[in-house]
Homo-oligomer: A and B are copies of this chain.
Amino acid sequence: MASVRQAGGPCQAWPGDGGFVREVLDRIGDKWTVLTISTLSSGSLRYSDLQASVVGISQRMLTQTLKHLERDGLIVRTAYAEVPPRVEYALTDLGRSLVDAVRGMVDWAVAHHGEVAGNRAVSAVRGVGRERGRVG
């Protein structure tokens, strides 16, 4: 495969991409966002259940992540005027479609994480990224 350069300036990373990939990555590439929506993929959950399910998330990050997701229409928040207060979070159709899209990446992770770990170990021994083999 030869070196390829799109015409008319800097390459777009993907055909049809107008910068959306970068934008969407800034949002859903965040680990807490992905873990949160994936946790909700099984069904709606309360705030406290989410905090228990998404291992390691702090109150601050959970609240922030939920707000972002709600703002973007990926989840819906339903507050019941009870005592004690109860709030349920659930995926919207849009949110569910994102889960499907992300699933491919997750499958890749599960299938290839061992290979990646192996490469990294070999690279550490061989010093990849520190010494250079020359060709030519």
Contact = CB atoms under 8 A, between A and B. Distances in A.
| Copies of this polypeptide in the complex | 2
Given A11-B53, A78-B135, A135-B80, A105 B108 contact: no
Nearest to A86: B136
Interface of A: 1-6, 10-11, 13-14, 16-17, 20-31, 34-35, 38-39, 42-46, 49, 52-55, 67, 70-74, 77-82, 88, 90, 94, 97-98, 100-110, 112-113, 115-116, 118-120, 122-124, 128-129, 132-136
A27 B101 CA distance: 18
A30 to B, nearest CB: 7
Given A29-B31, A101-B108, A82 B116 contact: no
